[in-house]
């Protein structure tokens, strides 16, 4: 009788599998593969070789705390001749003496996560079992049968493999790109993402069901949306918007997700302070890309936060145009979320593709602070019954704004405000380029088109169906040259009278600093004209001077100032309101690379910034990070003050570990100039 088959060792072929599965960065010391695609392993037997007619080999792959075949978290499958679609399979590729080369494959709908792989070898009535090792299974955007399949290689590279990108901030009229280090393949990040899944409330409540449902990107996307904020669970980030960040990190200071996720792990899953919308979105993007779901960060300008889903944001103002009362329904200058690409077998056909997932804690969904996934297409069509949270997202890009002005007798009068349109310039990074792509057309039909009216009818958006009232007098806020941080500048109320009458008016111009979520700060400029006479068919341009000495001390790190004009014509009881958000441009961080950028060879980056203010900067620091260029974040301090017009300059050592194109991302801080961002693309050559 044949002696037992004895396994000496199993080679998980990390290098070849990493290359084939686009997981090279993750396969340094462990096996990480994607579902629906074969991976290789080599069995080395001692004593005798495997004989097909004599030996029976059966494999077992299990995941989760209590694996079961019904839940799809346990699979037993024999060595067979053919690869079978939609099932766990193992087949022989080659045999050389006692070395057996195999390929295994997980079905394209298997749950993702950490698996244990074992082998039972039986000869006749005797058998023995061996643990072959562990592997992590990810979603596979390269596999046509996977729910996250994308057919463009360029898009797969951008939305799953690229570790850096841009997040768009500023205002609709001055869009500012902020570089970000997603770093989804950096050391330890995959383990942190799996840990995040394993402490989510659904896992703690029913771990078997949770692990089973990890086969669905819709489910995983919803879990990640809830776990990136800490409002209901041991989630990653604590959200704060009140400008008091002393016991944590100011949300504007972050330049990447890696530092945030490592802090969360190192603090024993205590929340990291503090996040705001783009930080929540960027961390969610890192986690979802790491797990294999194609994801991108999206910014919506003039984003409405509509709590009661009536698609209407109402502002009540006093006679000077100032907002009264504490307001939770607001228009945010911008708001960020992510889109992830997946099929929606739970919805009607046509709703596959990009889905909105919003991890910023704003409103509860099914009892938890999470939002989405909801198909972008459903938002465009006004189909608000679609799962999940369509009404909230529809309002973010379509709500109407009404301004009421309180008159002297206490009655409220509706004002005309054509300057504020919700849902503008919806932006994401272009595929393969450092440019912005405008994706507003994915969310909205062209303004005034029959399709737009049909979407509004479907969404029961009655305010938008009414025609806009036109007035013979119009006003908008205009700006002159580009406005730099530290400079004094003029803005103008541009008023046109298109009627044949003379109008006697009063104009109130006011500038206040503002946070990106619409919360107003102190006043930094006013101009009050009590008797403004508008001649027939005339144009007027009235300036408002804004001085650094007034705004410098109260500007938030968003660098935003809101200019408001209120034109009142008492005789006709007409109120015209115009607003504009002004973004102050920070100075540029110059980055020079010294030496030849080669793998595993020290490289020096020289960082410099010229102080644009008329006074010295103190406490200056540069912080840098970049996937493939630094193992962890580095901060360099400048001990001496940097005088007006002088340069702050430091050098930082880098050690590039991977060949290819990387981004070095930089943040500059000081007492008077904060959250200045810069980046440089660095192409690392082979040694």
- Structure-block tokens of residue 154: 């360029």
Strand partners, 446: none
Maximal C-alpha separation, the chain: 113
- For the question of residue 277 being annotated catalytic, the response is yes
In angstroms, the Cα distances linking 639 to 611, 669, 678 are: 15, 13, 21
Q: Which ranges of 141-292 does DSSP label H, i.e. alpha helix?
A: 153-156, 189-198, 201-205, 207-213, 217-227, 258-266, 277-291
Which of 374, 182, 439 has the alpha carbon at shortest distance from 286? 182
Q: ω into residue 274 within 30 of 0, thus cis? A: yes
- Structure-block tokens of residue 591: 């980055």
- For the question of residue 336 being annotated catalytic, the response is no
How far does CA 207 lie from the centroid of its chain? 28
Q: How far apart are CA 22 and CA 37, in angstroms?
A: 11
CA-atom Rg of the chain in angstroms = 29
Q: How far apart are CA 277 and CA 280, in angstroms?
A: 5
Distant-in-sequence, close-in-space partners of 252: CB < 8 Å, separation ≥ 6: 276, 557, 558, 674, 675
Strand partners, 312: 400
**DSSP reduced 3-state for 550:** helix
Q: ω into residue 373 within 30 of 0, thus cis? A: yes
In angstroms, the Cα distances linking 219 to 173, 371, 386 are: 37, 12, 15
In angstroms, the Cα distances linking 569 to 374, 471, 495, 508, 529 are: 45, 12, 13, 12, 12
How far does CA 426 lie from the centroid of its chain? 13
Q: How far apart are CA 245 and CA 235, in angstroms?
A: 19
Check 211, 230, 277, 336 and give the catalytic one: 277
Q: Between vectors from CA 217 to CA 426 and to CA 339, what angle results, nearest 5°? A: 5
Supply φ then ψ for residue 264, to 5 degrees: -60, -45
What is the helix, strand, coil percentage profile of the chain, to 5? 15, 40, 40
In angstroms, the Cα distances linking 661 to 69, 287, 629 are: 43, 21, 10
- For the question of residue 441 being annotated catalytic, the response is no
How far does CA 491 lie from the centroid of its chain? 33
Check 22, 335, 503, 662 and give the catalytic one: 335
In angstroms, the Cα distances linking 530 to 32, 320, 540, 636 are: 71, 12, 15, 53
Q: What is the DSSP letter of 265?
A: H
Distant-in-sequence, close-in-space partners of 434: CB < 8 Å, separation ≥ 6: 166, 177, 681
Check 55, 146, 358, 383 and give the catalytic one: 358
Any idea which residue has 């771990």 for tokens?
207
Please identify every residue annotated as catalytic. 277, 335, 358
């Amino acid at each position: 009788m044949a002696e037992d088959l004895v396994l000496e060792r199993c080679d998980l072929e990390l290098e070849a599998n990493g290359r084939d599965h686009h997981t090279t960065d993750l396969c340094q010391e462990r096996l990480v593969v994607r579902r629906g695609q074969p991976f290789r392993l080599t069995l080395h037997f001692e004593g005798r070789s495997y004989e097909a007619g004599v030996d029976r080999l059966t494999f077992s792959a299990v995941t989760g705390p209590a694996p079961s075949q019904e839940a799809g978290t346990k699979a037993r499958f024999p060595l067979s001749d053919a690869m079978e679609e939609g099932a766990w399979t193992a087949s022989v590729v080659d045999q050389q003496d006692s070395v057996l080369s195999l390929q295994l494959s997980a079905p394209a709908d298997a749950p993702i996560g950490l698996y244990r792989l074992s082998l039972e070898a039986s000869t006749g009535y005797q058998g023995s079992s061996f643990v072959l090792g562990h592997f992590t299974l990810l979603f596979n955007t390269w596999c046509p049968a996977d729910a996250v399949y994308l057919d463009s290689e360029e898009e797969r590279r951008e939305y799953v493999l690229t570790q850096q990108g841009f997040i768009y901030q500023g205002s609709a009229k001055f869009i500012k790109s902020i570089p970000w280090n997603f770093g989804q393949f950096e050391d330890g990040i995959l383990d942190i993402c799996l840990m995040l899944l394993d402490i989510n409330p659904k896992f703690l409540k029913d771990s078997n069901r949770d692990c089973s449902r990890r086969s669905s990107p819709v489910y995983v996307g919803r879990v990640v949306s809830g776990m990136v904020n800490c409002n209901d669970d041991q989630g990653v980030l604590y959200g704060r918007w009140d400008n008091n960040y002393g016991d944590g990190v100011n949300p504007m200071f972050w330049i990447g997700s890696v530092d945030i996720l490592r802090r969360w792990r190192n603090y024993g899953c205590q929340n990291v302070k503090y996040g705001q919308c783009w930080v929540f979105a960027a961390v969610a993007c890192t986690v979802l890309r790491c797990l294999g779901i194609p994801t991108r960060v999206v910014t919506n300008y003039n984003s409405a936060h509509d709590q009661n889903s009536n698609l209407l944001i109402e502002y009540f103002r006093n006679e000077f145009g100032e907002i009264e009362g504490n307001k939770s329904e607001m228009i945010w200058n911008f708001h960020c979320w992510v889109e992830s690409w997946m099929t929606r077998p739970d919805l009607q056909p046509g709703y596959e593709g990009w889905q909105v997932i919003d991890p910023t804690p704003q409103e509860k969904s099914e009892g938890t602070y999470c939002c989405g996934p909801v198909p972008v297409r459903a938002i465009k069509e006004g189909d608000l019954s679609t799962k999940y949270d369509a009404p909230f997202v529809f309002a973010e890009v379509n709500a109407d704004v009404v301004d009421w002005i309180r008159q002297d007798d206490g009655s409220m009068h509706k004002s005309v405000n054509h300057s504020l349109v919700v849902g503008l310039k919806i932006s994401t990074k272009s595929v393969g380029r450092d440019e912005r792509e405008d994706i507003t057309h994915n969310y909205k039909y062209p303004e005034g088109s029959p399709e737009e009216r049909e979407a509004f009818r479907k969404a029961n958006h009655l305010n938008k169906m009414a025609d806009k009232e036109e007035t013979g007098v119009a006003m908008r806020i205009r700006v002159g040259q580009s406005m730099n941080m530290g400079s004094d500048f003029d803005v103008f109320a541009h008023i046109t009278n298109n009627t044949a009458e003379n109008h006697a008016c009063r104009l109130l111009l006011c500038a206040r600093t503002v946070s990106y979520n619409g919360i107003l700060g102190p006043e930094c400029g006013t101009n009050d004209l009590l008797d403004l006479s508008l001649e027939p068919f005339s144009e007027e341009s009235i300036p408002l001077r804004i001085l650094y000495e007034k705004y410098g001390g109260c500007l938030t790190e968003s660098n935003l100032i809101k200019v408001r004009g209120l034109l009142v014509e008492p005789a006709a009881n007409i109120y015209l309101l115009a607003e504009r958000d002004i973004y102050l441009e920070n100075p540029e961080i110059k980055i020079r690379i010294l030496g030849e950028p080669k793998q595993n060879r020290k490289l020096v980056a020289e960082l410099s910034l010229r102080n644009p203010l008329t006074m010295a900067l103190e406490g200056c620091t540069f912080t840098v990070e970049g996937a493939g260029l630094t193992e962890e974040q580095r901060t360099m301090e400048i001990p001496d003050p940097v005088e007006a017009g002088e340069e702050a300059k430091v050098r930082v050592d880098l050690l590039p570990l991977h060949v290819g194109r990387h981004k070095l991302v930089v943040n500059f801080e000081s007492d008077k100039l904060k959250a200045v961002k810069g980046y440089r693309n660095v192409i690392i050559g082979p040694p």
